[in-house]
Amino acid sequence: MIQDPISLAFSAPFCLDLSRIRFDDMVSFIVGVLMAVTVHAEAQAFAATFLGDAQTDNPRRFHFNPLLHLDILGVICFLAAGFGWPRSIPMRTERFSRPRLYTLLAYLAGPLGNFFLASIAGSVIWLFKHYGVEDRVFGMVMAVNLTMAVYHLLPIPPLAGSAILPALFPALLKTWPSRIGSQVGSVVLILYFGFERVSGRHFIGDILSHLASSLHRIFIS
C-alpha cells in the first residue's frame, strides 16, 4: 500500500511574504535561516580542515555561533529571494595538496550540509506525522535548507558554486575569494532575484525552483 505524501505548511523554494507576515512563520523562518547558515559555514570549515587546511589557532574557523556567521547582504537576500549566504570561511588554499579540486570540494560542502540538514528535518517531520503531531518549524528548516542548497549551485560569488571558477582558472586561486568580487556578486544576486520577485518574470529562478520543488516532493513522498 502506497502512503499519501506528507502535506507541509511550507514549500521549497520558500520565500517569506513580507506583505503578510505571520509571527509564527517569521520565527520559524529565522530559526531556519540561522540553522542553514551555521551548517553551511561549519560544513565548509570542516571540509577545509579535513582536506589539509587546519587552522586550529583561528577563532573564525569553528565557533557554531549562528550570529557570527550572518552576512548583512546574505540576510537581505534571504528576505528578498528566500536564500542567502554566511560570512566567508577563511581558507588557505595553498595548504591543499590539490588546491583546485580541494577548494571546490570545500566550498560545495556547504550546500551538501544544507541538503543533509533538510533530510534530517524531513525525517523528523515524518516521525511527528506518524504520531499525529503537526509541525511548522522543521517544515521551515527543510524548505529553507533545500532552497539554500539548490541556489548555491549558481557559479556566482559569494555562492558555493562559484568555486568552480578557480577550479577552471587556476590563476584565481591566489585571490580567491575576492572581497570585491563577492560584494559585487552579492548585489547582483539581490537585484536580480528581487527583480524576478517584483516583476513576476522568472528565468533562472524557474530552473532552480523546479529543482528545489522536485527534491521537496522526494523528501515528503
- The residue ranges of DSSP E strands in the chain, in sequence order, are none
Question: What pLDDT band is residue 2 in, cutting at 50, 70 and 90?
Answer: very low
Backbone angles phi, psi at 201, to 5 degrees: -100, 115
Does 108 have pLDDT greater than 50?
Answer: yes
Across all residues in the chain, what is the average pLDDT? 88
Digit-coded pLDDT (tens) for 141-161: 999 999 999 999 999 999 999
What is the spatial distance between Cα 156 and Cα 74, in angstroms, rounded to a whole number?
A: 13
Backbone angles phi, psi at 70, to 5 degrees: -70, 135
Q: What is the pLDDT of residue 214?
A: 87
Does 6 have pLDDT greater than 60?
Answer: no
Q: What is the pLDDT of residue 221?
A: 65
What is the spatial distance between Cα 183 and Cα 205, in angstroms, rounded to a whole number?
A: 21
Q: What is the pLDDT of residue 54?
A: 87
Instruction: Give the three cell numbers for residue 101.
Output: 579540486
Does 72 have pLDDT greater than 70?
Answer: yes
Digit-coded pLDDT (tens) for 162-197: 999 988 888 888 777 788 889 999 999 999 999 998
Does 75 have pLDDT greater than 90?
Answer: yes
Query: Taking residues 51-77, what's their average pLDDT?
Result: 89
Higher pLDDT, residue 219 or 206: 206
Task: Give the distance from CA 174 to its chain's centroid.
Answer: 25
Q: What is the pLDDT of residue 36?
A: 97
Q: What is the pLDDT of residue 1?
A: 31
Digit-coded pLDDT (tens) for 37-61: 999 999 999 999 999 998 877 777 8
Q: What is the pLDDT of residue 3?
A: 44
Instruction: Give the three cell numbers for residue 61.
Output: 574557523
Angle made by CA atoms 56, 62, 68, in degrees to the nearest 5: 135
Does 97 have pLDDT greater than 90?
Answer: yes
